[in-house]
Amino acid sequence: MKKDTEVKLFMQARHKGATQQVAAARAGISERTARRYEQAGKLPSEQKRPHTWRTRPNPFEEDWPWVVAELKRDPALQGTTLFALLCERHPQRYQPIQVRTLQRHIAQWKALHGPEQEVIFEQRHRPGERGQSDFTHMDDLLITIGGIPFPHLMFHFVLTYSNVEAVTVCFSESFEALAEGLERCVWQVGGVPEQHRTDHLTAAVRQLDKGEREDWTERYKALMTHYGMLPTWNNTGVAHENGDVEQSHYRFKEAVDQALRVRGSRDFADRRVYEAFLQNLIAKRNQSRAARFATEKEALRPLPAAKLALCKEVRVTVSRFSTVQVLGNTYSVPSRLIGTPVLVRVGAETLEGYVGTMRTFTLPRLLGKQQHRIDYHHLIWSLARKPGAFASYRYRDELFPTTLFRQAYDSLVKQTPARADHEYVRVLHLAASTAESEVETALSLLLEAGSVPTAAAVRELVGTASPHPIPRIQTPTLDLSSYDQLLPSRRAHA
């Protein structure tokens, strides 16, 4: 079949008075073909008939009613699954290469007779209208800090018009992580959008009754009021309503993975280096959005004068065990606070304890419940006076700062079982009084030598450790005579 352009060229030549033979020659078609199109008065595309017949027999015609019945029962069934079932029902009827044919038949049936599918409605965004945020897990990227796995999450914030993004590292989906993450991100962006959309986080949305009625938490409303943002949420289980940030999760993590591959290592010296790596990557990704962000930045609202720092405050009294209970977890605190009421400010990663207006301690926050964090520095002075309490202490395992301390205790139990607890408490007291690293080095030397790591042996090694000599700096002799020579000339000038 000829092309429309060829027939049109022929028709134009005929309208100009050319003979059929000459017009056909100009169009590059035969005179007989030209005559047929001229008589029909239609272009080749207008003469095409829909292809409604099969060129070869349908190999699944006999079993097709069964396939349709299965698809109606469960539209999620895949072609490979149904083909495997057909091969089981009729072992000699089908060949493995026919699976693709069945998949095409199923795709065509679904397009013509399948169930209606959910439509994603493309949104039109205005500059400065909305920011979206969500948490995403980073464990699958296998990040390590100093060779140790670093399980963490990322709080991800995206402006929907320009797709400029900001991230912060966090460790839970708590309100504190949400509040601190959002504050850091809007300050990184440099402005505040009109709306903030999040998914159904319990940190922001609370259940009011059994009738599925919900409302914002008081602290989340206070956070939104401080920044002048209108809070919105997507419906439960409908992640695409938060689509910009959901899509950015995938793209961002893909970019992190590629950057790590280029870097050649997924290990970082410390968390600060890792966070600098992330911020550098975000800055590069935002460069391609600079033009749209310039428009959006003009529409963003200004930041408030200061951050809200909206953290939860809990009032507790330090127990006689020198511990406090905060949100279901146990923490040790300095023993001088026993019996004292303390105000604990709960952050995303830390707890800060205040007596009056004075901050008395800062502790790493535990995730989850029914956990404990005991610091031997808080207890050792009392334990040194009562070393017998060590054997049955409820949190005894927390009093081994490192594996070497545990190995030293096991060695004491093996070689001097009667004095093991007393000796270990004295070693721990020495670590708190001097330097834990020096005591650990001494324990390592004693264990390697096969000696008993008693407190006296450790003290002798720690005491003989020669500190680095302080260099002696000679005081230079200053010659100021050159300045004296300037005085006469200065008087003469005066």
Q: What is the DSSP string of 216-253?
A: E-HHHHHHHHHHT-EEEEPPTT-GGGGHHHHHHHHHHH
What is the reported pLDDT for 15? 87
The count of C-alpha atoms lying within 13 angstroms of the C-alpha of 333, restricted to the half-sphere facing its C-beta, is 32
Top pLDDT among 213 and 174 is at 174
pTM flag (> 0.85):
no
Residue 417 to residue 426: CA distance in whole angstroms: 15
Which of 50-59, 144-153, 347-356 has the weakest average pLDDT? 50-59
The reported pLDDT for the residue numbered 321 is 94
| CA nearest to 323, candidates 364, 369, 379 | 379
- Cβ atoms within 10 A of the Cβ of 145, count? 16
Residue 195's CB: how many other CB atoms inside 10 A?
A: 15
* pLDDT at site 312: 80
pLDDT category of residue 116 using cuts at 50, 70 and 90: confident
Q: Tell me, what's the pLDDT at 245?
A: 66
* Contacts within 8 Å (CB) and 24+ apart, 13-18: 14/38
Give 128-150 pLDDT, tens digit per residue. Answer: 898 998 899 999 999 999 999 99
pLDDT beyond 70 at 19: yes
Q: Which residue's entry shows tokens 């965004």?
A: 125
Torsion angles phi and psi, residue 435, rounded to 5: -140, 125
Given this model, what pLDDT does residue 488 score? Answer: 61
From 273, 281, 280, 283, select the one nearest 143 (Cα to Cα). 273
Name 125's Cβ contacts closer than 8 Å, sequence gap at least 6: 160, 161
| Average pLDDT rounded to a whole number, residues 407-419 | 92
Q: 275-280 long-range CB contacts below 8 Å, 24 or more apart? A: 275/169, 278/167, 278/169
In 328-379 the beta strands, taken as DSSP E runs, fall at 329-332, 341-346, 350-355, 358-364, 372-373
pLDDT at 213 exceeding the cut of 50: no
Secondary element (H or E) of residue 214? strand 214-216
Beta sheet of 148-149, edge-to-edge order: 148-149, 144-145, 267-268
pLDDT mean over 226-244 = 65
Spell out the domain ranges in the chain: 4-47, 64-113, 130-299, 312-373, 376-464
Q: 130-299: CATH homologous superfamily?
A: Ribonuclease H-like superfamily/Ribonuclease H (3.30.420.10)
